[in-house]
Amino acid sequence: EKLAGVARGSNVLTIQLEAMMGYLIGREVGGEPVTPTLNALVKDQSLSFTDAYSPIGSGNTSDAEMMTLTSLLPLDSGAAFVKKAENRYPGSLPKLLKANGYARAEAFHGYDRGYYNRGPMYKALGFDAFHAVDDYDKDDEVGLGLSDASFYRQTAEKIAKLKAPWYSHVVSLSGHHPYRVPADRQPLDLARGYYGEEFTDYLQAQAYADRALGEFLADLDRRGLLDDTTIVVYGDHWGQGWTHS
């Protein structure tokens, strides 16, 4: 109760990290932290929730968004983003914030606009705009597509143009299975074979994603965009060990 209203009127930034699992926070490999950015966030003037669970269904990443943006649980079959985009969602986070004086609510994701039906679903949820990969210069790729480093850099430029108070929902990509980060971009000094191949790749992908997140937050800070912004960072679902066909 003592924190009620403490961030009233501030900008809101939600950052959804692909396949980032909480057990990585505070862990080291060869004396080097896997997630230095998240470590610092947890330590420095923030609230962290370690007993959080991700009851996603077959909608995976989109189910995590569904729960975050609406407080509704996923469907028992199929993705709500695909099956329920015709609903109105009067209690969604974008609509609630805009009803309380927020100027804009925009979503950002460096992947295909049609994936998980995000275009129609974001509109149903009350976002004023959705910036997908076709709104970005695809100048650097890691894993499935646009690298987190490039995505965050270009997203910071877009957020800087928003009228305050704003709500920005940012969805990362580079931590996605099959966790392929080029050798010259892998942050950890980790010999192949020390762990299983997939776990090694997972650690490198999440270490890369964490460092890209750190650059994003530093960029926003340099622009003065964090002076009055509430930041929420969370992982969307479980990662290493995903059976992939």
Contacts of residue 122, defined as CB under 8 A and 6 or more positions apart, other chains included, come to: 107, 130
The candidate with the shortest Cα–Cα distance to 97, out of 12, 14, 171, 163, is 12
**113-116 long-range CB contacts below 8 Å, 24 or more apart?**
116/59, 116/61, 116/62, 116/79, 116/81, 116/82
Single-letter residue type at 95: K
Closest CA to 116 of 53, 73, 171: 171
Q: Is the peptide bond before 33 cis (omega within 30 degrees of 0)?
A: no
- E-only strand ranges, 30-109: 32-33, 104-109
Of 61, 70, 200, 229, the catalytic one is 61
Asked whether 100 and 76 are in contact (CB, 8 A), the reply is no
- 61 assigned to active site: yes
Question: Any idea which residues carry the catalytic annotation?
Answer: 61
